[in-house]
Amino acid sequence: MKRIISYNLNGIRSAINKGILDWLEETVPDIICIQETKAQPEQVDTGEFHKLGYKDYWHSAEKKGYSGVLIFTREEPDHVEIGMGNPAYDSEGRVIRADYGDLSVLDVYIPSGTTGDIRQEIKMKFLDDFLNYLTELRKSRPMLLVCGDFNIAHNEIDIHNPVGNKKSSGFLPEERAWLDTFLASGFVDSFRHLNPETVKYSWWSFRSNAREKNIGWRLDYHMLTIELSARLRGAGIINEAKHSDHCPVWVDIEI
């Protein structure tokens, strides 16, 4: 059994200051996929993570203090793939993949469109290109787990105020339709599959005490290919972990 956690840290250095090392020592996941590191490896004392038994694999953005994905893993992967072969996206540090036998764990940070029309257009283009990339990847790596911050709440159950946010980036009809297409292409939303009626969120705005009021969105996912879904043993969201404006989401996969 492997426990795999996905966690958007909104800055790994900030999360370290908020006690994530102590939290990792207590929870001991086998793999933790980080999004939004906002750091280069040399800016972080990775030795503290090594003491806990983790190896680290980074894909940082070229622009310092921006984006970036990272995998901490207790078991050394057979192979690590940096990026998705598209320079426009790879320069932003959005995708990294680790292979363990027949299992592939892909960590993704999908762009946000909240800063305006140009970034929203980039987000929609990324979504289409990413799905095409995954469709090709699955031909050689069918046992694929795609986890990370998708920056989309899928259905009304996944957002506190669906009516008020119907024109908000992250809950736009075209974004939700893309997630429909993504799942129909052969993926399973692990949390919703096992918890069809549970209302739980993974992100809250820093404004207006949103977290205390649980005014949230479920933006973070573990998506399993149909082929891998038979090995799903559990999935959940850890609301009590507070190192970011997101919280961790986890799955257990039978090995």
The secondary structure of residue 236, as a DSSP letter, is E
The single residue of 30, 107, 149, 220 carrying the catalytic annotation is 149
The CA–CA distances, whole Å, from 24 to 48, 74, 99, 147, 255 equal 11, 12, 22, 18, 22
3-state secondary structure 113-166: CCCCHHHHHHHHHHHHHHHHHHHHHCCCCCCEEEEEECCCCCCHHHECCCCCCC
Q: How many angstroms separate the CA atoms of 185 and 181, rounded?
A: 6
* Alpha helices (H) in 54-115, listed in sequence order: 87-90
Is the distance from CB of 165 to CB of 201 less than 8 angstroms?
Answer: no
pLDDT tens digits for range 48-64: 999 999 999 999 999 99
Three-state SS for 35?
strand
Strand partners for 238: none
Instruction: Based on the residue annotation, tell me whether 149 is a catalytic residue of this protein.
Output: yes
Quote the pLDDT of residue 201: 98
Counting the structural domains of the chain, the total is 1
pLDDT tens digits for range 82-137: 999 999 999 999 999 999 999 999 999 999 988 878 999 999 999 999 999 999 99
Q: Which two tokens mark 133?
A: 């990339």
Q: Rg (Cα) of the chain, in Å, rounded?
A: 17
Structural domain harbouring 128? 2-253
pLDDT tens digits for range 159-217: 999 999 999 999 999 999 999 999 999 999 999 999 999 999 999 999 889 999 999 99
Q: What is the CATH number of the domain that holds 69?
A: 3.60.10.10
